[in-house]
Structures are given as structure tokens and as C-alpha cells.
Amino acid sequence: MIDLRSDTVTKPTEEMRRASYEAEVGDDVYGEDPTVRKLEEKAAEILGKEAALFVTSGTQGNQIAVLTHCRPGNEILLESESHIFYYESGAVAALAGVQTRTIKGINGRMNPDEVLAAIRGEDQHFPETGLICIENTHNRAGGAVVPVSNMQKIFEHASSHSIPVHVDGARLFNAAVSANCSVKDFTQYCDTVQICLSKGLGAPVGSLLAGSEDFIKKARKWRKRLGGGLRQVGIIAAPGLVSLTKMTERLSEDHENAAYLAHALKDIKGLSIVNSVDTNIVVVEVANFGCTADQFVSALKEEGVLAVTFGPTLVRFTTHYDVTKENIKKAIDSIEVVARKLGNEQGKENK
């Protein structure tokens, strides 16, 4: 099977497994795990923030950010297909008690003027705007990079109203590699950021939430409340150090593989690519075959390729560390076979 469902499916490398085995550990709730401390310090340094907190998942990192920044009854502004809004099981409502106000973006980027216009004024009828969230890269926009200039404008508007900005940077390193800049170029324009170690960076588990010392102190308490205070956590933090120090630059290979895949899929009759393929995600429209995304994904599985549905007739392919260029070539052959079969079936029906 060639697994292109997500960059979350990678298995830890030999070096990560060794790092886990050899990790120096202690009880992190007592602040005594040297490995997780090292990881948090490294992450804070790379992200240009005062401090960072190791959390179990991207979802947990985002939720702790919302919980720490906001109070119940606040309103948060975020892109209409952002992960926090679309894929986190309504957690911001269930846990933080905030309401969401979504802004439709283009390629994942919200228009800064629309963000500004959505910030609530002083009025007893209105909720207070508690937080603005930006996602970079933007998953449902097909891994699109939100430019530094866009983040800067939103941050300036937010700051002028004393509203914090949080970045869901599950794939922020993909954005930096694609834009040929440093992650700090992006994170200078936010108060807090969440990055995932277990997406393109290949770690088996974990994310980091970074921000000011004061913010992270409060976030640590929220993590504890949510049952996320872990003990000999160095075992899982050690692979994360490998991710942060050795796995970021190689993301360009994943991007090249995605570009190669997209280039080949363009020539397959009936398929069209709907995203700009800035990074490691390719999204295709399959409606021309008269089938659903589910049917397309099932047919692909029969041919040895795994992908995910991304809408009623949209299918997402994601490249990652565990797929080679050779795998991508094979996947293209399989996709061609499926497209031909479905195309023929539709041809028969139309006769």
C-alpha cells in the first residue's frame, strides 16, 4: 500500500527510536524531565518566543491556546475552513465556551480588512472578540502558504485592538520551506503558535505551543486540567528533538514529490487539481467520473493507494517522509488505472 492519506502516517525513524530508548527522563509534572525541557527550550528558540509547552497533539495545543487566551462568551475570528473550526469536534464551544465567527479566505488567507471589520466594538449586546486564529499552512486550502505580509497586516489590526493572534502552525515548517524563509518570519506576527511534530516532521507523537512566559505558565495549568500533564515524557519528547533539528529542511523533498504528482495528474483525463500545490498536499476533483470521493478512494484502495476524501467529490493526497519518488510514480500509475476504469464505466452509462 502507498499511503497518501496524511503526513501523520509516518513511522518514527531509527534515530527517533534510539533517541527514545536513550532519553534521560524524570517526572515532568515536577518539572524534572530534562529531555522535554530541552525540547521546549529548542522550540521556543526556533519559534522566537519566550517559552514553549509540549502537548500531546495539535488539537490539544490549539484548544489550550483558545482556553488560555479567552473567557467563556468571547468570540473568536477564524477562517471558515480552518482546522480549529472544521475538524476539532466543536471543542472551542464545548471546552472554552466561545463562539466562532468565520471569515472566508482565499487560498486560506483571510482578507485583513474583513478581519478588522469583524472585530467587535464596545456594546453591551456584543461578545468581546477574544482571539484571532490563522492557519499556516492551511490544510483545507490544500496546504496553501499564508504569506508573511498577510499575517503582518492581520497582526497589526489585532494589536491595535489588543486582541491576541494564535497561529495553528501544524505545518508551519512546510510554509517556511516553501516560502524560503525562517519560521520566525511568520511567528513574529503572532502572540502564540502551535506546531506539530507528528505531521511532516515524522515524530510519533506531540506538538508544541509557544508564546510568552506568562502565557505558557497559564497554558501549563490548562494542560493539567485537561489531563495532559505527563510524567516520564522524555520518552516521547526525544523523537521530537530529532524532528525539530533534523527533519525540517527535508520537507522540500515532500514538496517536490507533491509537485511531481500534481504535474502527472493534470494529464489524466477527467481529473482536475483544485489547489495551488504550494507544499505537500494535492487535492483533486473527481466529479467528472460521475462518482463520489468515497467511491474514488475505495477504487484507489483496490489498486494499492490510500487517499482521503476532502469533500463530496474531492480527494486529498499528502506526501511525506515515508513515500519515495518511486512510490509516487507507482501511485500515479494506479490513479491512471482507476481514472480509466471509472471513465469507461461512465462512458458506458452515457451510451
Q: Which residues bind ligand TLP (CB under 6 A)?
A: 6, 8, 57-59, 83, 87, 135, 139, 168, 170, 196, 198, 207
Contact yes or no for 223/206 (Cβ under 8 A): no
Chain position whose Cβ is nearest to ligand TLP: 58
- In the bound state with ligand TLP, the residue whose beta carbon lies nearer, of 277 and 339, is 277
- In the bound state with ligand TLP, the residue whose beta carbon lies nearer, of 86 and 260, is 86
Q: How far is CA 105 from CA 69, 78, 183, 302, 315, in A?
A: 23, 9, 22, 36, 20
Eight-state DSSP code of residue 233:
T
- In the bound state with ligand TLP, the residue whose beta carbon lies nearer, of 166 and 339, is 166
CB atoms under 10 Å from CB of 125, counted, come to 5
Q: Produce one character per residue of 311-345: b if its CB has 16 or more CB atoms within 10 Å, e if not.
A: bebbbbbbbbbebeeebbebbbebbbbbbeebbee
Task: State the minimum distance, in angstroms, from the CB of residue 237 to ligand TLP.
Answer: 15
- In the bound state with ligand TLP, the residue whose beta carbon lies nearer, of 170 and 235, is 170
Contact yes or no for 75/98 (Cβ under 8 A): yes
Task: State the minimum distance, in angstroms, from the CB of residue 33 to ligand TLP.
Answer: 21
Task: State the minimum distance, in angstroms, from the CB of residue 322 to ligand TLP.
Answer: 14
Task: State the minimum distance, in angstroms, from the CB of residue 324 to ligand TLP.
Answer: 20
- In the bound state with ligand TLP, the residue whose beta carbon lies nearer, of 322 and 345, is 322
- In the bound state with ligand TLP, the residue whose beta carbon lies nearer, of 89 and 160, is 89
- In the bound state with ligand TLP, the residue whose beta carbon lies nearer, of 77 and 342, is 77
Task: State the minimum distance, in angstroms, from the CB of residue 211 to ligand TLP.
Answer: 17
Q: Is 138 helix (H, G, I), strand (E, B) or coil?
A: strand
Contact yes or no for 88/66 (Cβ under 8 A): no
Half-sphere exposure of 264 (CA within 13 A, CB side): 16
Half-sphere exposure of 273 (CA within 13 A, CB side): 19
Alpha helices in 90-182 (DSSP H): 91, 112-118, 148-160, 172-179
- In the bound state with ligand TLP, the residue whose beta carbon lies nearer, of 207 and 243, is 207
Task: State the minimum distance, in angstroms, from the CB of residue 10 to ligand TLP.
Answer: 12
Q: Bridge partners of 167? A: 134, 193
Sheet containing strand 314-318, edge to edge, reads: 272-273, 281-285, 314-318, 308-311
What is the rounded (10 degree) CA torsion for 261, 264, 266, 267? -160
